[in-house]
């Protein structure tokens, strides 16, 4: 992680330790059998004292929330780096592809992370607002959305796409969508959310993004 130059040495060190703990958590999760790692195991993996993960995060649930935020940051960074061309329709479909690709970089890790987010904690998480902000970034100025629907789209569309995206991830975690089918599932779900808001001249593009197997309800990756 590249830290901003204006941060104090103390703050830079604090963020570096947090990053080392999250790196260690990802390594443990990537091993599969360590999905139920303890905070003691995490501290050892990070090369830190036993209380360090508690001091920086407070609980394992908070660490999983931080890992979720981390992958959303990666999605945003990749989207900005690619700077997909086109209007809100093109950019939002591109964001779906990018988001799926980021998760598939380390599927074992992110299945564990996203799966953990369904457990209620003592405080509300930040996954929903961060996910909404990601789709708002893709939607941008709403070019390609029907003019008379832009007010409604601005109010609800990013949230609705976030909901459909999370639904795809739930079936992916459960094994009902295979890794190789995740991108198509996300694209079809995203296109379905966009369809009712698309300007008439952009509906053909949205319809073209819908994968036939997903529309028909055939399980992606199911045995033949």
**DSSP single-letter state for residue 219:** P
Predicted confidence (pLDDT) per residue in 21-60, tens digit: 999 999 999 987 556 788 999 999 999 999 999 999 988 8
User: By C-alpha distance, which of 214, 133, 128, 196 is closest to 163?
Assistant: 128
- CB neighbourhood size of 129 (10 A): 12
Q: Is 141 a residue whose pLDDT tops 90?
A: yes
- Output b/e per residue, 177-201; b: 16+ Cβ within 10 A: beeebbbbbbbbbbbbbbeebbbee
Q: Residue 10, Cβ neighbours under 10 Å: how many?
A: 8
- Distance, CA of 208 to chain centre: 24
Q: How long, in residues, is the chain?
A: 224
Asked if the model's pLDDT at residue 65 lies above 60, the reply is yes
Cα→Cα distances 111→71, 102, 168, 182, Å: 12, 12, 12, 12
Biggest alpha carbon–alpha carbon distance for the chain: 60
Position 11 confidence tier, pLDDT thresholds 50, 70, 90: confident
Distance of CA 41 to the CA centre of its chain: 26
The average pLDDT across 97-109 equals 96
pLDDT at 202: 96
Tell me what pLDDT residue 34 has. Answer: 52
Please state, for a pLDDT cut of 70, what percent of the chain lies above it. 87
- Between the alpha carbon of residue 162 and those of residues 7, 25, 50, 72, 113, the distances in Å are 33, 25, 36, 12, 17
Tokens of 85: 């061309």
- pLDDT for 223 equals 45
Kindly tell me if the per-residue pLDDT of 224 is higher than 50.
Answer: no
Q: Is the pLDDT of residue 115 over 70?
A: yes
What the block records as the tokens of 51 is 């209380």
Average pLDDT over residues 192-204: 96
**Is pLDDT of 63 > 60?**
yes
Q: What is the pLDDT at residue 23?
A: 95
Name the least confident of 85-99, 126-140, 201-215. Answer: 201-215
Average pLDDT of the residues in 82-89: 97
pLDDT average, residue stretch 59-85: 94
Give pTM, 2 decimals.
Answer: 0.85
As separate numbers, helices (DSSP H) first and strands (DSSP E) second, the chain gives 11, 0
């Amino acid at each position: 992680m590249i830290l901003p130059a204006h941060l104090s040495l103390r703050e830079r060190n604090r963020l570096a330790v947090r990053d080392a703990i999250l790196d260690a958590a990802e390594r443990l999760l990537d091993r599969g059998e360590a999905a139920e790692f303890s905070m003691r195991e995490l501290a050892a993996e990070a090369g830190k004292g036993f209380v360090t993960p508690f001091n920086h995060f407070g609980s394992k649930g908070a660490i999983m929330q931080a890992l979720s935020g981390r992958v959303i940051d990666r999605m945003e960074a990749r989207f900005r780096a690619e700077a997909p061309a086109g209007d809100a329709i093109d950019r939002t479909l591109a964001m779906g592809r990018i988001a799926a690709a980021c998760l598939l970089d380390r599927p074992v890790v992110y299945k564990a992370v996203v799966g953990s987010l369904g457990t209620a904690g003592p405080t509300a998480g930040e996954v929903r607002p961060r996910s909404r902000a990601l789709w708002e970034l893709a939607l941008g100025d709403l070019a390609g959305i029907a003019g008379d629907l832009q007010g409604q789209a601005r109010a609800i569309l990013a949230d609705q796409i976030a909901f459909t995206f999370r639904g795809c991830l739930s079936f992916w975690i459960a094994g009902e969508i295979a890794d190789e089918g995740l991108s198509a599932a996300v694209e079809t779900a995203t296109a379905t959310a966009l369809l009712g808001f698309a300007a008439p001249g952009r509906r053909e593009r949205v319809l073209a993004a819908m994968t036939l197997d997903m529309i028909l309800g055939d399980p992606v990756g199911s045995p033949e």
